Structure 1
Amino acid sequence: MNKLIQASAAAVLFIATASAFAAATVNFINVDKMTDVPRDFHKREDMQFVLREHFNRLSEQLPAGQVLKVDILDIDLAGEEFPRVSVQDVRVLKGQADWPRMHLRYSIEQDGKVVASGESQLSDPGYLMNGNRYNTDAYPYEKQMLDDWFRKEVLKRH
């Protein structure tokens, strides 16, 4: 029994420590006025959670002590959502003018000072033609677009 308590305590400490070092601050500015987010409140909350977690994973690549802060100003998700009356809304991906877009403002802080910042208009017109490692995840095209942005814009500055 004592070993079980020690293992549980170690796991809780590890999770608390890991999350303290890899947290990004992500704000969705006027999410109700964004170009294309889920209509359903719960799906919209899920989208925000998934994207926040993805920014947290991206921030793990920053040097120790640096904190990523992001304001998402607008989102246009991949595909087009078609509302349904009696069943869930359906998002259809055509690969035409329905590519994912995101407008964001970001900063990287270290010891309370901004070491990098910028504003970016992201888009991926070829989202269905490129390989995507997030195929089975929620919002795979948005995640891939954020990965590309982070690698080209944020990590390039360091």
Structure 2
Amino acid sequence: MKRHSRYWPAAALMLAAAGAASAGTVKVTYQEPKNFHDMPFAESERTQVLKELTAHFDKLAKRLPLNQQLNVTVTDIDLAGRVEPTRRNAMNDLRILRGQADWPTMSLSYSLEQDGKVIASGSENLKNMLYLDRMNRYPGGDALRYEKPMLDDWFKDTFGAPAQLSQK
């Protein structure tokens, strides 16, 4: 037993090095977010949505090789569901998810650079039309639980990286 235990630190270092080799970066730009199709009206809520989307793009980019940078410009967002005002207070509007024509969509353009040279680029109109009918591993409390699988699918299809990310 003692003999095998001395190999564990070396194995842990090798796994850590393998993870570090895959750590691309991302730069996300939101083009006129106040004009997006469907975003919260309150500035603080809109900022929070964009912050969470940027963090998700960052998690996705970590699946890229170390020497690659993904540049994303988001030109429009339509979140899942529709906002319906409540009678009492406009600050407490509800987002209702019906699973009809209220699926999440996002328009973006991207370029992938490696060592300063563009190796891939394009524009996409993403949508998750079956957002209520497909399995979703993001927790119910995640405000973007229907938009994140849409981004995961796009990332996997475009860059060949694993689609589902761990939550931590």
What TM bracket, shorter-length normalisation? 0.7 to 0.9
AA in 2 matched with 1:122: L
Q: Which residue of 2 aligns with 1:62?
A: 64
Q: Which residue of 2 aligns with 1:9?
A: none
| Partner residue of 2:117 out of 105, 113, 118 | 113
* Kept after mapping to 1: 8 A contact 2:30/2:75: yes
* Kept after mapping to 1: 8 A contact 2:24/2:65: no
Q: Which residue of 1 aligns with 2:103?
A: 99
Give 1:23 shift. 3.4
* Kept after mapping to 1: 8 A contact 2:76/2:106: yes
Taking a change above 3 Å as real, the CA distance of residues 67 and 118 of structure 1, as seen in their structure-2 partners, is same
1:93-139 deviation digits (Å, cap 9, x = unpaired): 00000000000001111121111111001011110000111133220
SS in 2 for 1:140: coil
- Aligned-residue RMSD, C-alpha: 1.6
Gaps of 5+ in 2: 1-19, 162-168
Bigger Rg, structure 1 or 2: 2
1:59-88 deviation digits (Å, cap 9, x = unpaired): 011112101110001011000012342542
Greater fraction helix: 1
Give 1:24 shift. 1.2
Taking a change above 3 Å as real, the CA distance of residues 94 and 140 of structure 1, as seen in their structure-2 partners, is same
Q: Which residue of 2 aligns with 1:89?
A: 93
* Kept after mapping to 1: 8 A contact 2:78/2:104: yes
Gaps of 5+ in 1: 1-17
Taking a change above 3 Å as real, the CA distance of residues 87 and 35 of structure 1, as seen in their structure-2 partners, is closer
Aligned-pair identity in percent equals 44
| Partner residue of 2:146 out of 117, 141, 145 | 141
Count matched residues. Answer: 137
* Kept after mapping to 2: 8 A contact 1:95/1:127: yes
* Kept after mapping to 2: 8 A contact 1:122/1:145: yes
SS in 2 for 1:103: strand
